[in-house]
Amino acid sequence: MFLCYVLKTASHPFFLHNPFLYNFAVDYGGSSQKRETGTCHRVTRAGNSEGERGRKVTEEKSHRDKGRRGNIKERRKGIKEKYEVEDECDEDAPKRMKNRDNKKTRKNEEGEKSKRKTKIKNVKEGNDGESDDVKWGRSKKKEKAKKKKGKQELVEESSESESFSEGGELPEKKEGFTQEELEQLKEAVDEKRKLIITLKGKPWPMRKKLVTLRESQQFLEKYEGALGKGKGKRVYACKVIVMKKWMKFQRDLENFKTACIPWEMKIKDIESHFGSSVASYFIFLRWMYGINLILFGLTFGLVMMPEALMGKPYGSMPRKTVPRGEEGGAMDFAVLWDFGGYAQYSVLFYGYYNNQRAIGWLKFRMPLSYFLVGVGTVAYSYMVVIRTMARNANRDGGGDDTSFNFSWKMFTSWDYLIGNPETADNKFASITTNFKESIVEEQESQKDDNIHLTRFLRVLANFLVLCCLAGSGYLIYFVVRRSQKFALDGLENHSWWERNEVNMVMSLLGMFCPMMFDVISSLENYHPRIALQWQLGRIFALFLGNLYTFIIALMDEINRKRSEEDAVKLNMTAWEAGLYNGTSVGNASGPVPVHPADVPRGPCWETMVGQEFVRLIISDTMTTYITLLIGDFLRALFVRFFNYCWCWDLEYGFPSYSEFDVSGNVLGLIFNQGMIWMGAFYAPCLPALNVLRLHVSMYLQCWAVMCCNVPQERVFKASGSNNFYMAMLLVILFLSTLPAIYTIVTIPPSFDCGPFSGKNRMFDVIQETLETDFPAWFGKVFSYASNPGLVLPFILVMILAIYYLQSTSKTYKVANLDLKKKLQTQNEENKKKNKKAALKAAAELEEAKNAATCRQETECGESGQDRDITTSRQDRDITTSRQDRDAPSQQLSRGKASVNPLFPGLYTEMHLTGKQIRIPHIKRRAQQFLVVVKQMHILCAFALL
Amino acid sequence: MGNKQTIFTDEQLDAYQDCTFFTRKEILRLHGRYHELAPHLVPMDYTNDPDVKVPLALIVNMPELKENPFRNRIVESFSEDGEGNLSFNEFVDMFSVLSETAPRELKAIYAFKIYDFNTDNFICMEDLEKTLNRLTKEELTPEEVKLVCEKSIEEADLDGDSKLSFADFENMISRAPDFLRYLLLTLPSANDYNVVFSFGVFRNHNFILHSFLLEKQKKISHEIASDSAL
């Protein structure tokens, strides 16, 4: 029985006319009648001649007529059921129906109804199928006419539905194939293709999407090949096949790429437990890991590997051998841990590299490669950071006004990522306080009762923080000075603490000062978000101060080593003279083979700098891990298990569990990276070490967070694009490349170690390469180009360009603000206008309603045709209920140009026209502005380099 | 591809990938999650599109939605029958819209549906009050609620009918700064972390956290019980 109904509904003209709906209706009946579906489908879709279709329909009719042999009551029942079935269909039906105007739906309904009546009459009179067919054809024409009418009535037909109707009508025209039709077909095919691509973003239910997808794929399959004639056809077919393969390949690639993103699951897991701010740290960590991986690839592939494989082996030269005096303890763990002994005389450090111009059978230019990798590391880092910043700025451009304060809070404050009851509770609390705060702000604009006290406290807090900073700076300077004294005495005479004092003090300061700042900042009584920024700024200043004190101390050390080097040079000549004298006495022919370990050598300040940085990184890593284990894990264990036998509640009382400190961890990461950038030139192993460290800390911190931290009490919403971190990273990058570049440019390299030994300055390697490896004219051109007469104008032009871009960006900004203001005033005006219009419309509606009810009452009283009225009322009921159901989707699919269902006739579009014109302007302006900013960034980077 | 999975045919997977923002793997994983919800209802073989629906009560208890104050609304607005029973298609649809890669415009459309509690196609005062009460767990006084709702309507309502149409809503959302918009309707994509914990600190890293939370919940429920007893 059900099958029969399905066929009925399916062969209904409305459905038949629209292949999409037809297919849908048949599908709805179940898959048991696939064959029939196929045939019907082909008949309608391919658009065979009218007669054939008629025959098909007659067959179906006769089949149906069998079922109709019964009394009229049963038939009526059947019709009722049919109604229901149709209703169901419609309810689930794709929005094709919904997109239509209400009036149109009603008309269709009426048309269907009248047709049904005629059918019933036909059966009653015992007419055969043919007249039925005639009727059918007529009603179909009517249907078409109505459709056209409906189209005219539509305010805005969405493009999707248009494509459907095209898809439905085109096949009928296919036989002719004039040029025009071909064009149309092509358009339709393109339309379908576009539809498939954009299908994801459509707000339709999945079932509709799937059906549409199948439909359009079949359509494409059928008509893609039909386009073009003769040779063109084949080419077109080939193109289509290639396109398909390409799409498939792209999809596979996409799948592969997403599978390749590391730690996605871990981060998602954390995100769902702790909210987005904690997760943003881990995303940042992963990004950093990626950058370090590339830096590691550069240094490892172009510097360390070639030297290890093709350079002279260990022990062949003095710089590649452990000196005789250190040989005894060169393999001790303590020495290796300090990166002395064999570790010092290896590819890990600057001093090991030879100044031979080309090494191995590849004639690899080692010193040049070393220099270029050093420059490339910095350049690449700048590029990545700036590019990411520009992209982020692009993403969150604009939107800085606070005109929607409350509504934004209302609709966007819930963090949908939260999946943990504790975090959710905290979030509820924070939202509540947030609302209360803004209510208070709204009610009284400014609270000024104890403003003097808060001011005093803030000044006091800042004073205390400054004291802390100065103290820590002095402490580090003092310790570094003392360690130099120890170094002069010889490290062996001192205890472990005295040897590692500098690193330990720096790590301890980095650990305890932030806590102190936290305590101090509670004096200030800031809003948590502002407080967090202050906290970040202070820690940043602390770390920076520490780092620069360290660098200054290091500079002193470098100068000391260089004076030492001069002394060694003098000694060296004396030693060589002695050696020469000795040989001339003993054996007159040739130089005596002196073991390279015995040759006296300079102190090699470059290796010393590299060692210092490596030690710093190691100790920093260790303190991080150890604080993690003690401060988080052991504390959690203690709190958890001693809570059973303790006098107060440990979990809620004093120690409690620790929170994850996002700001501190981010800053740690950034400074760590700064040290890498600073030291990577003198210790090529640093990126490798950092990759290792980041890898381990990813796992360790993920575990620690999930295991022993509790969600933050103040749950912040972090942005996905963390430009704040990026800005800090850029500052650090600049500050850390500054000293590195200073040492490279101003200090002459050591005479007996490293790839640049024997040269006056390190960058001389470029000039040397130009002279020997390039043709003469190139060197000439280069020397002309580097002539101050050319360089100065170039710099001038660059400065002018920057100035120009900056001023244009400023004007854009001003224009942007202007437009925004205009927009706001416009909005307000529109509001007023619309209010008036709405009131007017409401009054009119009221009148119309009153009139209608009056009329209806009179009609009811007059006429005796109860049945008709009840049926029509039912009809109206159905339509109105459908209207109600369709309303939201209708509203949504049309977007801005929506019909106001309460006041039919008043279009809400009206008030939006002004904005629709202006918004693109603003967007374009903003985009231009961003492009300008991006260009400026790049230019600045070039200027810096 | 040579995979041994027989849950879906390749065509089905391709179709799903065309219609959602998911990759092949994620769709299979989603099916796993769906199956987990009601193992006796949902078959493992989906090659012939079985007509199965999972009731609202089961879906709402998924860890992704459990803590969400709008969970019922989310599920309801994605179900075709309006009562929250989701077939697999609707289930996939829901997670596709809630995934990170879905465009904001699409999210805004569904967000409007979700906040429109009485499905009258407008966000009116009543809807706003409900939203606010769910967001704050009804800790604001009625006067405060009224003030906030009136304020937000005043801000966002452009046509002066003292309720928000979709155009108003879209306009308001599109002007929001990025970091606010980012979180509008974004769930952690279908990942299967399990909240089951075993006995032993080292076997399951979530042990401490979860047992702590469990005890806290117990305590709270105990307090509530004692309060009600008094």
Q: Are A732 and A539 in contact (CB under 8 A)?
A: no
Task: Give yes or no: residues A645 and A747 share one domain.
Answer: yes
Integer Cα distance of A610 and A344 in angstroms: 10
The residue type of A392 is N
Partner B, chain A 380-439, Cβ-Cβ below 8 Å: 395-396, 399-401, 403-424, 428, 431-432, 435-436, 439
DSSP annotation string for chain B: ------SS-HHHHHHHHHHSS--HHHHHHHHHHHHHH-TTTS-S--TT----EE-HHHHHTSHHHHT-TTHHHHHHHHSTTSSS-EEHHHHHHHHHHHSTTS-HHHHHHHHHHHH-TT-SSSB-HHHHHHHHHHHHTT-S-HHHHHHHHHHHHHHH-SSSSSSB-HHHHHHHHHTS-HHHHTTTT-PPPS--------SSTTT-TTHHHHHHHHHHHHHHHHHHHHHHH-
Q: Mean pLDDT of all residues in chain A? A: 71
Q: Given this model, what pLDDT does residue A294 score?
A: 95
State pLDDT tens for residues A63-97. Answer: 444 444 444 444 444 444 444 444 444 444 444 44
Task: Please indicate whether, in this complex, the C-beta atoms of A892 and B139 are within 8 angstroms of each other.
Answer: no
Residue at which a domain ends, from A260, A293, A313: A260
Q: With an 8 Å Cβ cutoff, is A924 touching chain B?
A: no
Tell me the C-alpha distance between A51 and A53, whole Å: 5
In whole angstroms, what is the distance from residue A833 CA to residue A350 CA? 76
Verify that A207 and A302 share a domain, yes or no. Answer: no
Q: What is the pLDDT of residues B113-148, one digit of tens each?
A: 888 888 888 888 888 888 888 888 877 888 888 888
Residue among A210, A272, A898 whose CB faces B165 most closely: A898
Question: Considering only A145-159, A241-255, A309-323, A452-466, which range has the smallest mean pLDDT?
Answer: A145-159
Residue A193's pLDDT is what? 79
What residue of B is the nearest CA neighbor of A820? B175
Same domain, A222 and A330: no
A254 Cα to chain B: minimum distance (Å): 8
Interface of A with B in 870-889 (CB under 8 A): 887-888
Judged by CB atoms closer than 8 Å, whether chains meet at A895 and B161 is answered as no
Q: Is the pLDDT of residue A110 over 80?
A: no
Q: Do A895 and B207 touch (CB under 8 A)?
A: no
Residues A43, A53 contacting (CB under 8 angstroms) = yes
More confident residue, A115 or A660: A660
pLDDT tens track for A112-150? 444 444 444 444 444 444 444 444 444 444 444 444 444
d(CA A716, CA B41) in angstroms, rounded, equals 40
Q: Identify residue A771 by its one-letter amino acid code.
A: E
Question: Is A558 exposed, middle or buried, given 0-12, 13-18 or 19+ CB atoms closer than 10 A?
Answer: middle
**Helix, strand, coil percent values for chain A (each to nearest 5):** 80, 0, 20
CB contact under 8 A, A887 and B121: yes
Q: What is the pLDDT of residue A794?
A: 92
The answer to whether A671 and A732 have CB atoms below 8 angstroms apart is: yes
The DSSP bridge partners found for residue B164 are: B123
Query: Cβ contact (<8 Å) for B152 and A407?
Result: yes
Task: Establish if A11 belongs to a structural domain.
Answer: no
Give φ, ψ of A681 to 5 degrees. Answer: -70, -35
Residues A246, A275 within the same domain: no
Residue A759 backbone dihedrals phi, psi, to 5 degrees: -95, 160
Query: Residue B167 is nearest to which of A432, A708, A896, comparing CB atoms?
Result: A896
Residues A219-274 pLDDT 10s = 877 776 666 555 666 777 788 788 888 888 887 888 788 778 888 778 877 776 77
Q: DSSP for A294-337? A: HHHHHHIIIIIHHHHHHSPPTTSSGGGS--GGGGGGTT-HHHHH
Confidence of residue A54 (pLDDT cuts 50, 70, 90): very low
Exposure class string for A322-358: b at 16+ Cβ within 10 A, else e = beeeeeeebeeeebeebbbbbbbbbbbbbbbbbbebe
Token pair for A69: 């042999």
What gap in Å lies between CA A431 and CA B158, rounded to an integer? 26
The neighbouring-strand residues paired with A658 are A709
Q: A435 burial class (0-12, 13-18, 19+ CB within 10 angstroms)?
A: buried
Q: Please tell me the predicted confidence (pLDDT) of residue B190.
A: 33
Which positions 27-56 of A are in contact with B (Cβ < 8 Å)? Answer: 31
Q: How far is B182 from chain A (nearest CA, A)?
A: 7
Which segment of A122-136, A296-310, A426-440 scores lowest on mean pLDDT? A122-136
pLDDT for the residue B121: 84
Q: Tally A–B CB contacts below 8 A.
A: 264
User: Is position A386 within any domain?
Assistant: yes
Most confident range (mean pLDDT) of A329-333, A483-487, A721-725 is A329-333
Lowest mean pLDDT among A268-272, A765-769, A815-819: A268-272
Residues A657, A707 within the same domain = yes
Based on its alpha-carbon atoms, the radius of gyration of chain A, rounded to whole angstroms, reads 40
pLDDT at A312 over 50: yes
Could B112 and A892 be called an inter-chain contact, meaning their C-beta atoms sit closer than 8 Å? yes
Average pLDDT over residues A625-647: 85
Determine the pLDDT at residue A685: 92
pLDDT at B219: 57
- Residue A710 β-bridge partners: A659
Compute the average pLDDT of residues A652-672. 81
- Contacts by A459-468, CB closer than 8 A, 24 or more apart: A460/A523, A461/A520, A461/A521, A461/A523, A461/A524, A464/A520, A465/A517, A465/A520, A465/A538, A468/A513, A468/A516, A468/A517, A468/A520, A468/A542
Highest mean pLDDT among A93-107, A611-625, A689-703, B30-44: A689-703
d(CA A535, CA A543): 12
Contacts with B, A 678-697, CB within 8 Å: none
Interchain pair A396, B137: CB under 8 A: no
pLDDT at res. A940: 59
Probe site for chain A from B193, B195, B211, B218 (most A CB atoms < 10 A): B193
pLDDT band of A830, cuts 50, 70, 90: confident
What is the reported pLDDT for A935? Answer: 65
pLDDT attached to residue B102? 76
Which chain B residue's Cα is nearest to A711?
B209
- Structure confidence at residue A492 (pLDDT): 67
Of the residues A846, A881, A913, the one at which a domain ends: A846
Distance of CA A634 to the CA centre of its chain: 36
Residue A721 contacts B where some CB pair is shorter than 8 Å = yes
Does A162 fall in a domain?
Answer: no
B89 CB neighbours in chain A (<8 A) are: 205-207, 210
For residue A795, pLDDT beyond 90: yes
B208 pLDDT higher than 70: no
- Judge if A507 and A555 occupy the same domain: yes
What does the pLDDT read at residue A490?
67
The partner residue sitting opposite B178, judged by closest CB among A200, A417, A719, is A719
Residues of chain A with C-beta less than 8 angstroms from the C-beta of B186? 416-417
Q: Rounded to an integer, what distance in angstroms lies between the CA atom of residue A219 and that of residue A393? A: 42
Contact A200 B19 (CB under 8 A): yes
Nearest to B68 among A416, A902, A912 (CB): A416
Residue A918 resides in a domain: no
CA distance B68 to chain A (A): 7
How many residues are present in chain B? 230
Where among A806, A821, A846 does a domain terminate? A846
Domains of chain B, earliest start first: 7-102 (1.10.238.10), 103-188 (1.10.238.10)
Q: Which residue has the tokens 């051109």?
A: A781
Query: What are the angstrom distances between the C-alpha of A808 and each of A804, A928, A937, A942?
Result: 6, 10, 14, 20
Q: How confident is the model at residue A99 (pLDDT cuts 50, 70, 90)?
A: very low
What pLDDT score does B225 carry?
Answer: 56
Q: What is the pLDDT of residues B58-97, one digit of tens each?
A: 888 877 777 788 888 888 888 887 787 888 888 888 888 8
Residues A277 and A347 reside in one and the same domain: yes
Is A830 an interface residue toward B (CB < 8 Å)? Answer: yes
Asked whether residue A324 is domain-assigned, the answer is yes
Asked which of A192-196, A914-918, A929-933, B149-153 is least confident by mean pLDDT, the reply is A914-918
Q: Which domain holds residue A487?
A: 264-397+426-444+469-578+597-755
**Residue in chain B nearest A254 by alpha carbon:** B23
pLDDT tens by residue, B31-69: 888 888 888 888 888 887 778 888 888 888 877 777 788
A141 lies in a domain? no
End-to-end, the C-alpha distance of chain B in Å comes to 65
**Do A198 and A331 fall within a single domain?**
no
Residue-by-residue DSSP string for A716-772: ----SS-HHHHHHHHHHHHHHHHHHHHHHHHSPPPSSSSTTTTSSSTTHHHHHHHHH
A829 and A708 belong to one structural domain: no
Quick one: pLDDT band at residue A894, thresholds 50, 70, 90? Answer: very low
Q: pLDDT of A126-136, one tens digit each?
A: 444 444 444 44
Q: Could you tell me if A545 and A627 lie in one domain?
A: yes
| Pairwise CA distance, residues A374 & A381, whole Å | 11
pLDDT of residue B228: 52
Q: Is B48 in contact with A31 (Cβ distance < 8 A)? A: yes
Q: Are residues A725 and A667 in the same domain?
A: yes
Section A2-27 average pLDDT: 40
Q: CA of B119: which chain A residue's CA is closest?
A: A888
Question: Does residue A743 sit in the same domain as residue A831?
Answer: no
Q: What is the pTM (predicted TM-score) of this model?
A: 0.61
Higher pLDDT, A371 or A436: A371
Residue B167, both tokens: 């155009």
Q: Does A632 touch chain B (CB under 8 A)?
A: no
Residue A801 lies in a domain: yes
What chain B residue is nearest to A704 in terms of C-alpha separation? B205
Determine the Cα–Cα distance for residues A227 and A240; give it in Å rounded to an integer.
11
| Rounded average pLDDT over A16-29 | 39
Q: Considering only A165-179, A409-423, A553-567, which range has the smallest mean pLDDT?
A: A165-179
Confidence tier at A716 by pLDDT (50, 70, 90): low
pLDDT of amino acid A73? 46
Q: Is A712 on the interface with B (CB under 8 A)?
A: no
What is the tally of structural domains in chain A?
3
Q: What is the pLDDT of residue A15?
A: 38
pLDDT at A380: 94
Using the predicted structure, report yes or no on whether residue A862 has a pLDDT greater than 60.
Answer: no
The more confidently predicted of residues A774 and A870 is A774
Q: Does A213 touch chain B (CB under 8 A)?
A: yes
Asked if the structure places residue A23 within a domain, the reply is no
Give the per-residue SS3 of A884-906: HHHHHHHHHHHCCCCECCCCCCC
Whether residue B105 and residue A908 make contact (CB cut-off 8 A), yes or no, is: no
A399–B176 CB contact, under 8 Å: yes
Could you give the CA distance from residue B33 to residue B62 in angstroms, rounded to a whole number?
A: 9
Taking CA–CA distances from B103, the nearest residue in chain A reads: A201
For chain A, what percent of residues have pLDDT higher than 70? Answer: 63
B33 near B94, Cβ under 8 Å? Answer: no
Chain B residue numbers with beta carbons less than 8 Å from the beta carbon of A718 are 179
**What's the token pair of residue A943?**
């200027």
Identify the closest residue of chain A to B152 by CA–CA distance.
A407
